[in-house]
Structure 1
Amino acid sequence: MSLSDDGGYGGDGHRGPETGQTRTRLPGGDGDLYGSGRRPRAGMSSRNLVTIVGVIVLLLAAIAFANRDGSGNSESGGDSPKDTGPGAARPTAPTGTKPVTGKNGQIASGFAKTEQGAQSAAANYAVALVSANILKPGERHAIVQQVFAPAKVDDMQSRLDAAYSTAFLKKLGLDAKGDAAPGMTYVSRTVPVGTKLVKLQGDTADLEVWCTGLFGTAGAKSTTPVTSDWFTMRLQLKWAGGDWKVDGFSQQDGPAPVNGDDKTSGADQIAKAVEQYGGFTYAR
Protein backbone atom coordinates (compact mmCIF):
# COMPACT_ATOMS: atom_id res chain seq x y z
CA MET A 1 0.00 0.00 0.00
CA SER A 2 1.17 3.47 -0.32
CA LEU A 3 0.19 6.80 0.99
CA SER A 4 0.34 10.22 -0.48
CA ASP A 5 0.22 13.80 0.64
CA ASP A 6 -2.24 14.85 -2.04
CA GLY A 7 -4.84 12.14 -2.18
CA GLY A 8 -2.67 9.50 -3.82
CA TYR A 9 -2.18 7.28 -0.81
CA GLY A 10 -2.24 3.73 -1.89
CA GLY A 11 -4.73 0.94 -1.82
CA ASP A 12 -7.07 -0.98 0.35
CA GLY A 13 -4.76 -3.11 2.33
CA HIS A 14 -2.73 -0.13 3.30
CA ARG A 15 -0.52 0.10 0.31
CA GLY A 16 -2.76 0.30 -2.71
CA PRO A 17 -2.26 -2.31 -5.43
CA GLU A 18 -5.39 -1.32 -7.27
CA THR A 19 -4.42 -3.30 -10.32
CA GLY A 20 -2.31 -6.07 -8.81
CA GLN A 21 -3.35 -9.67 -9.19
CA THR A 22 -3.63 -11.90 -6.18
CA ARG A 23 -1.34 -14.88 -5.80
CA THR A 24 -4.06 -17.00 -4.23
CA ARG A 25 -5.73 -20.05 -5.63
CA LEU A 26 -9.26 -21.18 -4.91
CA PRO A 27 -9.37 -22.53 -1.35
CA GLY A 28 -9.19 -26.29 -0.98
CA GLY A 29 -10.56 -28.50 1.72
CA ASP A 30 -7.98 -27.29 4.23
CA GLY A 31 -9.21 -23.70 4.02
CA ASP A 32 -5.76 -22.33 3.21
CA LEU A 33 -6.27 -19.49 0.76
CA TYR A 34 -2.62 -19.47 -0.10
CA GLY A 35 -2.52 -23.10 -1.11
CA SER A 36 0.50 -24.79 -2.60
CA GLY A 37 -0.35 -24.80 -6.27
CA ARG A 38 0.26 -22.22 -8.97
CA ARG A 39 -1.83 -19.09 -9.27
CA PRO A 40 -4.77 -19.67 -11.59
CA ARG A 41 -4.84 -17.73 -14.81
CA ALA A 42 -8.61 -17.66 -14.74
CA GLY A 43 -11.53 -19.05 -12.81
CA MET A 44 -11.05 -17.16 -9.54
CA SER A 45 -14.35 -17.08 -7.69
CA SER A 46 -16.19 -13.78 -7.89
CA ARG A 47 -16.48 -13.70 -4.09
CA ASN A 48 -12.72 -13.87 -3.58
CA LEU A 49 -12.11 -11.28 -6.27
CA VAL A 50 -14.67 -8.87 -4.80
CA THR A 51 -13.15 -9.28 -1.33
CA ILE A 52 -9.62 -8.50 -2.54
CA VAL A 53 -10.75 -5.54 -4.62
CA GLY A 54 -12.77 -4.28 -1.65
CA VAL A 55 -9.71 -4.28 0.60
CA ILE A 56 -7.74 -2.35 -2.00
CA VAL A 57 -10.49 0.24 -2.26
CA LEU A 58 -10.50 0.69 1.53
CA LEU A 59 -6.78 1.33 1.64
CA LEU A 60 -6.93 3.79 -1.24
CA ALA A 61 -9.72 5.66 0.51
CA ALA A 62 -7.69 5.89 3.71
CA ILE A 63 -4.68 7.24 1.87
CA ALA A 64 -6.77 9.81 0.05
CA PHE A 65 -8.38 10.87 3.33
CA ALA A 66 -5.05 11.13 5.12
CA ASN A 67 -3.58 13.27 2.36
CA ARG A 68 -6.43 15.55 1.43
CA ASP A 69 -5.59 19.23 1.63
CA GLY A 70 -1.92 18.29 1.80
CA SER A 71 0.85 20.27 0.21
CA GLY A 72 2.37 17.41 -1.73
CA ASN A 73 2.47 18.01 -5.45
CA SER A 74 2.71 15.21 -7.96
CA GLU A 75 4.17 17.60 -10.50
CA SER A 76 7.78 18.73 -10.53
CA GLY A 77 8.55 22.29 -9.50
CA GLY A 78 10.46 22.75 -12.74
CA ASP A 79 11.50 21.07 -15.92
CA SER A 80 12.57 17.47 -15.60
CA PRO A 81 16.28 16.91 -16.11
CA LYS A 82 17.48 15.48 -19.38
CA ASP A 83 18.75 11.93 -19.68
CA THR A 84 22.26 13.10 -18.93
CA GLY A 85 21.21 15.05 -15.85
CA PRO A 86 20.54 13.97 -12.27
CA GLY A 87 17.26 12.32 -13.27
CA ALA A 88 18.97 9.84 -15.58
CA ALA A 89 19.02 6.21 -14.49
CA ARG A 90 22.36 5.21 -13.05
CA PRO A 91 23.64 1.91 -11.74
CA THR A 92 24.08 1.58 -8.00
CA ALA A 93 27.81 1.44 -7.37
CA PRO A 94 30.10 1.98 -4.36
CA THR A 95 31.23 5.58 -4.06
CA GLY A 96 33.44 5.38 -1.01
CA THR A 97 30.99 7.67 0.80
CA LYS A 98 29.11 6.25 3.77
CA PRO A 99 25.39 6.70 2.90
CA VAL A 100 24.12 7.29 6.44
CA THR A 101 25.62 8.04 9.83
CA GLY A 102 23.14 6.24 12.02
CA LYS A 103 19.54 5.31 12.76
CA ASN A 104 16.67 7.12 14.45
CA GLY A 105 14.84 4.16 15.95
CA GLN A 106 14.47 1.62 13.12
CA ILE A 107 14.75 4.24 10.37
CA ALA A 108 18.05 5.29 8.84
CA SER A 109 19.09 8.88 9.48
CA GLY A 110 22.01 11.22 8.94
CA PHE A 111 21.78 11.39 5.14
CA ALA A 112 24.26 13.57 3.30
CA LYS A 113 23.12 16.78 1.66
CA THR A 114 23.96 15.39 -1.77
CA GLU A 115 22.21 13.69 -4.67
CA GLN A 116 23.16 10.30 -3.25
CA GLY A 117 22.01 11.25 0.23
CA ALA A 118 18.63 12.47 -1.01
CA GLN A 119 18.02 9.26 -2.96
CA SER A 120 18.97 7.11 0.04
CA ALA A 121 16.63 9.11 2.26
CA ALA A 122 13.74 8.79 -0.20
CA ALA A 123 14.16 5.00 -0.47
CA ASN A 124 14.26 4.50 3.30
CA TYR A 125 11.33 6.82 3.95
CA ALA A 126 9.21 5.04 1.32
CA VAL A 127 9.76 1.80 3.22
CA ALA A 128 8.76 3.38 6.54
CA LEU A 129 5.65 5.11 5.21
CA VAL A 130 4.23 1.88 3.78
CA SER A 131 5.18 -0.45 6.61
CA ALA A 132 2.81 -2.44 8.81
CA ASN A 133 3.84 -0.22 11.72
CA ILE A 134 2.15 2.80 10.15
CA LEU A 135 -1.14 1.14 11.17
CA LYS A 136 -0.14 0.92 14.85
CA PRO A 137 -0.86 4.19 16.75
CA GLY A 138 2.32 4.21 18.86
CA GLU A 139 4.65 3.23 16.04
CA ARG A 140 2.88 5.56 13.61
CA HIS A 141 3.50 8.58 15.82
CA ALA A 142 7.19 7.67 16.09
CA ILE A 143 7.47 7.29 12.29
CA VAL A 144 5.81 10.66 11.68
CA GLN A 145 8.15 12.35 14.16
CA GLN A 146 11.22 10.78 12.55
CA VAL A 147 10.34 11.09 8.86
CA PHE A 148 8.51 14.38 8.37
CA ALA A 149 9.82 17.92 8.43
CA PRO A 150 9.03 19.59 11.80
CA ALA A 151 6.44 21.92 10.26
CA LYS A 152 4.53 18.92 8.87
CA VAL A 153 4.52 16.62 11.91
CA ASP A 154 1.36 17.77 13.72
CA ASP A 155 -0.75 17.98 10.58
CA MET A 156 0.32 14.59 9.23
CA GLN A 157 -0.09 12.89 12.59
CA SER A 158 -3.67 14.17 12.90
CA ARG A 159 -4.59 13.16 9.37
CA LEU A 160 -3.05 9.71 9.58
CA ASP A 161 -4.72 9.06 12.94
CA ALA A 162 -8.06 10.01 11.40
CA ALA A 163 -7.44 7.84 8.32
CA TYR A 164 -6.38 4.79 10.31
CA SER A 165 -9.28 4.90 12.73
CA THR A 166 -10.48 1.94 14.78
CA ALA A 167 -13.33 1.46 12.32
CA PHE A 168 -10.93 1.38 9.37
CA LEU A 169 -8.58 -1.08 11.09
CA LYS A 170 -11.52 -3.34 11.84
CA LYS A 171 -12.29 -3.56 8.13
CA LEU A 172 -8.76 -4.89 7.62
CA GLY A 173 -9.27 -7.49 10.33
CA LEU A 174 -7.07 -5.60 12.82
CA ASP A 175 -7.81 -4.43 16.35
CA ALA A 176 -7.52 -0.87 17.65
CA LYS A 177 -3.78 -1.35 18.15
CA GLY A 178 -3.27 -2.43 14.54
CA ASP A 179 -2.69 -6.08 15.45
CA ALA A 180 -4.10 -9.06 13.57
CA ALA A 181 -6.27 -11.69 15.22
CA PRO A 182 -4.55 -14.61 17.01
CA GLY A 183 -3.04 -16.97 14.46
CA MET A 184 -2.88 -14.23 11.82
CA THR A 185 0.00 -12.00 10.72
CA TYR A 186 -0.56 -8.70 8.97
CA VAL A 187 2.07 -8.05 6.30
CA SER A 188 3.12 -4.81 4.63
CA ARG A 189 6.65 -4.81 3.21
CA THR A 190 7.99 -2.36 0.64
CA VAL A 191 11.11 -2.96 -1.45
CA PRO A 192 12.58 -0.02 -3.43
CA VAL A 193 13.58 -1.17 -6.91
CA GLY A 194 15.17 2.12 -7.93
CA THR A 195 15.26 5.85 -7.25
CA LYS A 196 15.27 8.87 -9.53
CA LEU A 197 16.24 12.41 -8.63
CA VAL A 198 13.84 14.75 -10.40
CA LYS A 199 15.17 17.98 -8.97
CA LEU A 200 17.74 19.04 -6.37
CA GLN A 201 17.94 22.71 -5.53
CA GLY A 202 19.30 24.19 -2.33
CA ASP A 203 17.46 22.77 0.68
CA THR A 204 14.83 20.90 -1.34
CA ALA A 205 14.78 17.71 -3.40
CA ASP A 206 12.09 16.08 -5.51
CA LEU A 207 12.47 12.33 -6.07
CA GLU A 208 10.65 9.23 -7.27
CA VAL A 209 11.04 5.75 -5.77
CA TRP A 210 9.89 2.76 -7.83
CA CYS A 211 8.73 0.05 -5.44
CA THR A 212 7.32 -3.42 -5.19
CA GLY A 213 5.88 -4.89 -2.05
CA LEU A 214 3.64 -7.31 -0.18
CA PHE A 215 0.47 -6.64 1.75
CA GLY A 216 -2.36 -8.60 3.29
CA THR A 217 -3.00 -10.96 6.19
CA ALA A 218 -1.24 -14.31 6.41
CA GLY A 219 -3.30 -17.03 8.05
CA ALA A 220 -5.14 -20.21 7.13
CA LYS A 221 -8.53 -18.48 7.39
CA SER A 222 -7.51 -15.12 5.98
CA THR A 223 -9.96 -13.48 3.57
CA THR A 224 -7.30 -10.98 2.44
CA PRO A 225 -4.26 -13.16 1.66
CA VAL A 226 -0.87 -11.59 1.08
CA THR A 227 -0.41 -10.37 -2.48
CA SER A 228 2.12 -8.20 -4.29
CA ASP A 229 1.93 -4.85 -6.02
CA TRP A 230 4.05 -2.28 -7.86
CA PHE A 231 3.89 1.46 -7.37
CA THR A 232 5.94 4.65 -7.56
CA MET A 233 6.21 7.10 -4.68
CA ARG A 234 6.98 10.76 -5.33
CA LEU A 235 8.60 12.47 -2.35
CA GLN A 236 9.41 16.10 -1.77
CA LEU A 237 12.25 16.35 0.76
CA LYS A 238 13.43 19.33 2.77
CA TRP A 239 16.76 19.77 4.52
CA ALA A 240 15.92 20.32 8.20
CA GLY A 241 17.93 19.79 11.35
CA GLY A 242 20.92 18.48 9.44
CA ASP A 243 19.00 15.74 7.62
CA TRP A 244 16.55 15.17 4.76
CA LYS A 245 12.90 15.09 5.88
CA VAL A 246 9.63 14.51 4.02
CA ASP A 247 7.79 17.72 3.12
CA GLY A 248 5.20 16.13 0.82
CA PHE A 249 4.49 12.88 -1.00
CA SER A 250 2.17 11.11 -3.44
CA GLN A 251 1.82 7.70 -5.07
CA GLN A 252 0.78 6.14 -8.35
CA ASP A 253 0.50 2.60 -9.67
CA GLY A 254 3.27 0.85 -11.60
CA PRO A 255 5.31 0.43 -13.64
CA ALA A 256 4.37 -3.23 -13.19
CA PRO A 257 5.90 -6.21 -15.01
CA VAL A 258 3.97 -9.23 -16.25
CA ASN A 259 3.17 -11.47 -13.30
CA GLY A 260 5.13 -14.71 -13.26
CA ASP A 261 3.46 -18.07 -12.74
CA ASP A 262 5.18 -18.58 -9.40
CA LYS A 263 4.30 -21.38 -7.04
CA THR A 264 2.44 -19.83 -4.13
CA SER A 265 3.49 -20.53 -0.56
CA GLY A 266 1.33 -21.59 2.35
CA ALA A 267 0.06 -19.01 4.84
CA ASP A 268 2.33 -20.35 7.56
CA GLN A 269 5.38 -19.99 5.30
CA ILE A 270 4.54 -16.36 4.56
CA ALA A 271 4.03 -15.57 8.26
CA LYS A 272 7.31 -17.23 9.24
CA ALA A 273 9.20 -15.44 6.45
CA VAL A 274 8.00 -12.07 7.74
CA GLU A 275 9.22 -12.96 11.23
CA GLN A 276 12.53 -14.48 10.14
CA TYR A 277 13.68 -12.04 7.44
CA GLY A 278 14.44 -8.50 8.53
CA GLY A 279 14.48 -5.39 6.38
CA PHE A 280 17.40 -3.41 4.98
CA THR A 281 18.80 0.08 5.16
CA TYR A 282 18.66 1.27 1.56
CA ALA A 283 21.47 3.32 0.10
CA ARG A 284 22.19 4.80 -3.30
Structure 2
Amino acid sequence: MSLGDEHGSSGGYADTGQTRTRLPESDPYGGARRGGRSSSRSLVTVVGVVVLLIAAIAFANRGDDSPAGGSTSDKPATSATAATGEKPVQPKSGGIPTGFAHSEAGAQSAAANYSVALVSADILKPANRTAIVKQVFVTDQQATLEDRLNAAYSKEFLSNIGLDPNGNPTKGQTYVSRTVPIGTKATSYSDTAATLEVWCTGLYGTAGANSANPVTSDWFTMTLQLRWTDNDWKVDSFSQKDGPTPVPGDNKASSADEMAKAVEEYGGFTYAR
Protein backbone atom coordinates (compact mmCIF):
# COMPACT_ATOMS: atom_id res chain seq x y z
CA MET A 1 0.00 0.00 0.00
CA SER A 2 1.47 3.31 -0.93
CA LEU A 3 1.37 5.94 1.78
CA GLY A 4 -0.32 8.36 -0.55
CA ASP A 5 -3.32 6.06 -1.06
CA GLU A 6 -4.78 4.96 2.24
CA HIS A 7 -2.33 6.32 4.75
CA GLY A 8 -3.12 9.91 4.03
CA SER A 9 -0.77 12.82 4.61
CA SER A 10 1.63 13.43 7.46
CA GLY A 11 3.63 16.39 6.36
CA GLY A 12 6.91 15.76 4.59
CA TYR A 13 7.00 12.11 5.56
CA ALA A 14 3.81 10.23 4.90
CA ASP A 15 2.64 12.05 1.77
CA THR A 16 3.92 10.17 3.50
CA GLY A 17 3.61 -4.08 -19.16
CA GLN A 18 4.41 -6.64 -20.16
CA THR A 19 1.85 -8.40 -22.39
CA ARG A 20 1.85 -12.15 -22.83
CA THR A 21 1.87 -13.36 -26.40
CA ARG A 22 -0.16 -16.48 -27.08
CA LEU A 23 0.45 -18.62 -30.14
CA PRO A 24 -2.57 -18.58 -32.47
CA GLU A 25 -4.50 -21.78 -33.13
CA SER A 26 -4.07 -21.13 -36.86
CA ASP A 27 -1.70 -19.18 -39.05
CA PRO A 28 -2.48 -15.48 -38.44
CA TYR A 29 -2.01 -14.87 -42.15
CA GLY A 30 -4.75 -17.29 -43.18
CA GLY A 31 -2.78 -20.48 -43.84
CA ALA A 32 -2.94 -23.72 -41.94
CA ARG A 33 -0.58 -24.39 -39.07
CA ARG A 34 2.68 -25.97 -40.15
CA GLY A 35 3.04 -29.69 -39.58
CA GLY A 36 5.80 -31.36 -37.63
CA ARG A 37 9.34 -31.67 -38.91
CA SER A 38 10.50 -34.78 -40.71
CA SER A 39 11.94 -37.56 -38.57
CA SER A 40 15.44 -37.11 -40.03
CA ARG A 41 15.52 -33.42 -39.22
CA SER A 42 14.17 -34.14 -35.73
CA LEU A 43 16.96 -36.67 -35.14
CA VAL A 44 19.60 -34.17 -36.22
CA THR A 45 18.10 -31.57 -33.90
CA VAL A 46 18.10 -33.94 -30.89
CA VAL A 47 21.73 -34.96 -31.50
CA GLY A 48 22.74 -31.33 -31.78
CA VAL A 49 21.04 -30.43 -28.49
CA VAL A 50 22.75 -33.34 -26.70
CA VAL A 51 26.16 -32.25 -27.99
CA LEU A 52 25.56 -28.69 -26.81
CA LEU A 53 24.47 -29.89 -23.36
CA ILE A 54 27.59 -32.03 -22.97
CA ALA A 55 29.79 -29.11 -23.97
CA ALA A 56 28.00 -26.78 -21.56
CA ILE A 57 28.40 -29.23 -18.64
CA ALA A 58 32.08 -29.69 -19.40
CA PHE A 59 32.61 -25.94 -19.51
CA ALA A 60 30.74 -25.39 -16.22
CA ASN A 61 32.71 -28.07 -14.39
CA ARG A 62 36.20 -27.06 -15.47
CA GLY A 63 38.38 -25.25 -12.95
CA ASP A 64 39.79 -21.77 -13.26
CA ASP A 65 42.94 -22.36 -15.30
CA SER A 66 44.06 -18.74 -15.23
CA PRO A 67 47.34 -18.13 -13.35
CA ALA A 68 47.25 -16.60 -9.88
CA GLY A 69 47.19 -12.86 -10.09
CA GLY A 70 46.39 -13.05 -13.80
CA SER A 71 44.39 -10.47 -15.67
CA THR A 72 40.61 -10.52 -15.24
CA SER A 73 39.94 -7.78 -17.76
CA ASP A 74 38.25 -10.28 -20.07
CA LYS A 75 35.59 -11.09 -17.48
CA PRO A 76 32.17 -9.49 -18.00
CA ALA A 77 31.32 -6.57 -15.74
CA THR A 78 28.54 -6.97 -13.22
CA SER A 79 25.23 -5.41 -14.14
CA ALA A 80 23.52 -2.64 -12.20
CA THR A 81 21.23 -5.14 -10.47
CA ALA A 82 23.78 -7.86 -9.65
CA ALA A 83 24.60 -8.74 -6.06
CA THR A 84 27.77 -7.08 -4.79
CA GLY A 85 28.97 -9.99 -2.66
CA GLU A 86 29.03 -7.85 0.49
CA LYS A 87 27.37 -9.24 3.58
CA PRO A 88 24.15 -7.21 3.41
CA VAL A 89 22.80 -7.10 6.95
CA GLN A 90 23.16 -8.23 10.52
CA PRO A 91 20.42 -10.20 12.34
CA LYS A 92 17.03 -8.55 12.37
CA SER A 93 15.92 -6.26 15.18
CA GLY A 94 12.16 -6.21 15.60
CA GLY A 95 11.78 -7.86 12.20
CA ILE A 96 13.82 -5.17 10.41
CA PRO A 97 17.40 -5.88 9.27
CA THR A 98 20.24 -3.85 10.79
CA GLY A 99 23.96 -3.40 10.29
CA PHE A 100 24.02 -2.36 6.65
CA ALA A 101 27.37 -2.03 4.91
CA HIS A 102 28.99 1.40 4.93
CA SER A 103 28.85 1.64 1.14
CA GLU A 104 26.52 2.70 -1.65
CA ALA A 105 25.28 -0.90 -1.97
CA GLY A 106 24.62 -0.97 1.78
CA ALA A 107 22.64 2.25 1.55
CA GLN A 108 20.54 0.81 -1.27
CA SER A 109 19.87 -2.32 0.78
CA ALA A 110 18.85 -0.20 3.76
CA ALA A 111 16.49 1.89 1.65
CA ALA A 112 14.81 -1.20 0.20
CA ASN A 113 14.29 -2.80 3.61
CA TYR A 114 13.08 0.44 5.18
CA SER A 115 10.55 0.92 2.38
CA VAL A 116 9.06 -2.46 3.28
CA ALA A 117 8.76 -1.45 6.94
CA LEU A 118 7.34 2.01 6.28
CA VAL A 119 4.53 0.75 4.07
CA SER A 120 3.48 -2.25 6.13
CA ALA A 121 0.45 -3.32 8.12
CA ASP A 122 2.53 -3.17 11.32
CA ILE A 123 3.05 0.58 11.13
CA LEU A 124 -0.74 1.03 11.38
CA LYS A 125 -0.64 -0.58 14.83
CA PRO A 126 0.19 1.85 17.65
CA ALA A 127 1.83 -0.96 19.61
CA ASN A 128 4.34 -1.56 16.80
CA ARG A 129 4.75 1.94 15.42
CA THR A 130 7.10 3.26 18.09
CA ALA A 131 9.49 0.35 17.65
CA ILE A 132 9.53 0.78 13.86
CA VAL A 133 10.25 4.50 14.14
CA LYS A 134 13.12 3.90 16.57
CA GLN A 135 14.60 1.21 14.35
CA VAL A 136 14.33 3.05 11.03
CA PHE A 137 14.88 6.76 11.74
CA VAL A 138 17.75 8.86 13.00
CA THR A 139 17.40 9.78 16.67
CA ASP A 140 16.72 13.50 16.18
CA GLN A 141 13.77 12.82 13.85
CA GLN A 142 12.01 10.09 15.82
CA ALA A 143 9.79 12.18 18.10
CA THR A 144 8.59 14.47 15.31
CA LEU A 145 7.88 11.63 12.95
CA GLU A 146 6.03 9.54 15.51
CA ASP A 147 3.74 12.48 16.29
CA ARG A 148 2.99 12.93 12.58
CA LEU A 149 2.32 9.23 12.08
CA ASN A 150 0.04 9.09 15.12
CA ALA A 151 -1.95 12.00 13.70
CA ALA A 152 -2.11 10.44 10.24
CA TYR A 153 -3.16 6.99 11.49
CA SER A 154 -5.89 8.25 13.80
CA LYS A 155 -8.82 6.19 15.08
CA GLU A 156 -11.01 7.78 12.42
CA PHE A 157 -8.59 6.85 9.67
CA LEU A 158 -8.27 3.26 10.90
CA SER A 159 -12.04 2.97 11.14
CA ASN A 160 -12.42 4.17 7.55
CA ILE A 161 -10.30 1.28 6.28
CA GLY A 162 -12.04 -1.28 8.49
CA LEU A 163 -9.56 -1.49 11.39
CA ASP A 164 -10.08 -1.01 15.12
CA PRO A 165 -8.05 1.56 17.14
CA ASN A 166 -5.29 -1.04 17.56
CA GLY A 167 -4.95 -1.50 13.81
CA ASN A 168 -6.64 -4.90 13.71
CA PRO A 169 -9.36 -5.99 11.26
CA THR A 170 -12.68 -7.52 12.29
CA LYS A 171 -12.79 -11.21 13.09
CA GLY A 172 -12.52 -13.42 10.03
CA GLN A 173 -10.71 -10.81 7.94
CA THR A 174 -7.03 -10.15 7.22
CA TYR A 175 -5.62 -6.69 6.59
CA VAL A 176 -2.88 -6.67 3.96
CA SER A 177 -0.21 -4.05 3.37
CA ARG A 178 2.89 -5.60 1.83
CA THR A 179 5.56 -3.86 -0.20
CA VAL A 180 7.89 -5.46 -2.76
CA PRO A 181 10.90 -3.41 -3.93
CA ILE A 182 11.47 -3.82 -7.67
CA GLY A 183 14.75 -1.89 -7.83
CA THR A 184 16.85 0.80 -6.17
CA LYS A 185 18.85 3.77 -7.40
CA ALA A 186 21.27 6.07 -5.59
CA THR A 187 20.82 9.66 -6.78
CA SER A 188 23.54 10.94 -4.44
CA TYR A 189 26.03 9.28 -2.12
CA SER A 190 28.76 10.18 0.36
CA ASP A 191 30.20 8.46 3.42
CA THR A 192 27.77 10.34 5.68
CA ALA A 193 24.59 10.76 3.64
CA ALA A 194 22.78 9.25 0.67
CA THR A 195 19.59 9.77 -1.29
CA LEU A 196 17.96 6.63 -2.65
CA GLU A 197 14.95 5.93 -4.82
CA VAL A 198 13.14 2.62 -4.38
CA TRP A 199 10.68 1.52 -7.07
CA CYS A 200 8.00 -0.62 -5.44
CA THR A 201 4.86 -2.56 -6.04
CA GLY A 202 2.56 -3.68 -3.26
CA LEU A 203 -0.70 -5.08 -2.01
CA TYR A 204 -3.14 -3.35 0.30
CA GLY A 205 -6.69 -3.86 1.48
CA THR A 206 -8.76 -6.27 3.56
CA ALA A 207 -9.12 -9.91 2.59
CA GLY A 208 -12.13 -11.81 3.85
CA ALA A 209 -15.82 -12.35 3.37
CA ASN A 210 -17.86 -9.21 2.69
CA SER A 211 -14.83 -6.95 2.68
CA ALA A 212 -15.66 -3.38 1.71
CA ASN A 213 -11.97 -2.74 1.00
CA PRO A 214 -10.74 -5.64 -1.19
CA VAL A 215 -7.02 -6.24 -1.69
CA THR A 216 -5.60 -4.43 -4.70
CA SER A 217 -2.14 -3.58 -6.01
CA ASP A 218 -0.30 -0.36 -6.70
CA TRP A 219 3.05 0.93 -7.98
CA PHE A 220 5.02 3.74 -6.41
CA THR A 221 8.51 5.13 -5.87
CA MET A 222 9.85 6.09 -2.46
CA THR A 223 12.69 8.57 -2.04
CA LEU A 224 14.64 8.18 1.20
CA GLN A 225 17.32 10.48 2.58
CA LEU A 226 19.65 8.33 4.67
CA ARG A 227 22.29 9.34 7.19
CA TRP A 228 25.20 7.24 8.46
CA THR A 229 24.86 7.24 12.25
CA ASP A 230 25.74 4.80 15.02
CA ASN A 231 27.46 2.52 12.48
CA ASP A 232 24.35 2.06 10.37
CA TRP A 233 22.22 3.74 7.72
CA LYS A 234 19.08 5.40 9.10
CA VAL A 235 16.31 7.45 7.48
CA ASP A 236 16.42 11.21 7.89
CA SER A 237 13.29 11.86 5.77
CA PHE A 238 11.28 10.25 2.99
CA SER A 239 8.64 11.00 0.39
CA GLN A 240 6.62 9.08 -2.16
CA LYS A 241 5.15 9.40 -5.64
CA ASP A 242 3.04 7.18 -7.90
CA GLY A 243 4.53 4.90 -10.58
CA PRO A 244 6.17 3.92 -12.81
CA THR A 245 3.20 1.64 -13.48
CA PRO A 246 3.19 -1.14 -16.10
CA VAL A 247 0.26 -2.12 -18.28
CA PRO A 248 -2.06 -4.38 -16.22
CA GLY A 249 -1.85 -8.09 -16.99
CA ASP A 250 -4.70 -10.44 -17.73
CA ASN A 251 -4.54 -12.48 -14.52
CA LYS A 252 -7.83 -13.51 -13.00
CA ALA A 253 -8.37 -12.01 -9.56
CA SER A 254 -8.27 -14.52 -6.69
CA SER A 255 -11.05 -14.85 -4.18
CA ALA A 256 -10.89 -13.08 -0.83
CA ASP A 257 -10.26 -16.39 0.94
CA GLU A 258 -7.43 -17.32 -1.43
CA MET A 259 -5.81 -13.94 -0.88
CA ALA A 260 -6.08 -14.15 2.91
CA LYS A 261 -4.59 -17.66 2.89
CA ALA A 262 -1.69 -16.56 0.66
CA VAL A 263 -0.82 -13.63 2.91
CA GLU A 264 -0.82 -15.87 5.99
CA GLU A 265 1.24 -18.66 4.37
CA TYR A 266 3.86 -16.69 2.42
CA GLY A 267 6.40 -14.69 4.37
CA GLY A 268 8.30 -11.62 3.23
CA PHE A 269 11.92 -11.18 2.19
CA THR A 270 15.06 -9.40 3.34
CA TYR A 271 16.15 -7.16 0.49
CA ALA A 272 19.84 -6.65 -0.24
CA ARG A 273 22.21 -5.43 -2.95
* TM-score using structure 2 length: 0.74
134, 137, 162: which one pairs with 1:148?
137
Residue 102 of structure 2: aligned partner:
113
Q: Equivalents in 2 of 1:139, 1:265: separation in Å?
A: 30
5, 11, 33: which one pairs with 1:11?
5
200, 205, 208: which one pairs with 2:189?
200
Residue 139 of structure 1: aligned partner:
128
Alignment of 1:2 with 2:2, yes or no, is yes
Aligned residues: 211
What is the CA distance between 1:2 and its match in structure 2? 2.9
248, 254, 267: which one pairs with 1:278?
267
Alignment of 1:97 with 2:78, yes or no, is no
Q: Equivalents in 2 of 1:71, 1:248: separation in Å?
A: 10
Alignment of 1:188 with 2:182, yes or no, is no
Residue 269 of structure 1: aligned partner:
258
Residue 230 of structure 1: aligned partner:
219
SS at match of 1:215: strand
In structure 2, runs of 5+ residues without a counterpart are 16-77
Q: Deviations over 1:201-228 (max 9, x none)?
A: 2310001000000000001201110000
SS at match of 1:231: strand
Residues 225 and 235, structure 2, Cα contact 8 Å, conserved in 1? yes
Q: Deviations over 1:259-279 (max 9, x none)?
A: 011111111110011110000
Q: Equivalents in 2 of 1:249, 1:90: separation in Å?
A: 27
Q: Equivalents in 2 of 1:207, 1:139: separation in Å?
A: 25
Q: Equivalents in 1 of 2:194, 2:89: separation in Å?
A: 17
In structure 1, runs of 5+ residues without a counterpart are 4-9, 13-58, 73-88
Q: Equivalents in 1 of 2:172, 2:181: separation in Å?
A: 29
Residue 67 of structure 1: aligned partner:
11
Q: Deviations over 1:121-142 (max 9, x none)?
A: 0000000000000100011111
Residues 195 and 210, structure 1, Cα contact 8 Å, conserved in 2? yes
Residues 121 and 176, structure 2, Cα contact 8 Å, conserved in 1? yes
> Which amino acid is 1:186 matched to?
Y
> Which amino acid is 1:67 matched to?
G
> Which amino acid is 1:11 matched to?
D
Q: Equivalents in 1 of 2:148, 2:14: separation in Å?
A: 13
Percent identity (aligned): 61
Q: Equivalents in 1 of 2:86, 2:122: separation in Å?
A: 30
What is the CA distance between 1:71 and its match in structure 2? 12
Residue 216 of structure 1: aligned partner:
205
> Which amino acid is 1:270 matched to?
M
Q: Equivalents in 1 of 2:14, 2:131: separation in Å?
A: 21
Q: Deviations over 1:103-152 (max 9, x none)?
A: 11100110011011000000000000000001000111110010000000
Q: Equivalents in 2 of 1:253, 1:95: separation in Å?
A: 29
Residues 218 and 270, structure 1, Cα contact 8 Å, conserved in 2? yes
Residue 237 of structure 2: aligned partner:
248
Residue 116 of structure 2: aligned partner:
127
Residue 165 of structure 1: aligned partner:
154
> Which amino acid is 1:168 matched to?
F
Residues 149 and 245, structure 1, Cα contact 8 Å, conserved in 2? yes
> Which amino acid is 2:2 matched to?
S
Residue 52 of structure 1: aligned partner:
none
> Which amino acid is 1:145 matched to?
K
Q: Equivalents in 2 of 1:207, 1:197: separation in Å?
A: 4
What is the CA distance between 1:167 and its match in structure 2? 1.1
Q: Equivalents in 1 of 2:122, 2:92: separation in Å?
A: 17
SS at match of 2:102: coil
Q: Equivalents in 2 of 1:67, 1:149: separation in Å?
A: 17
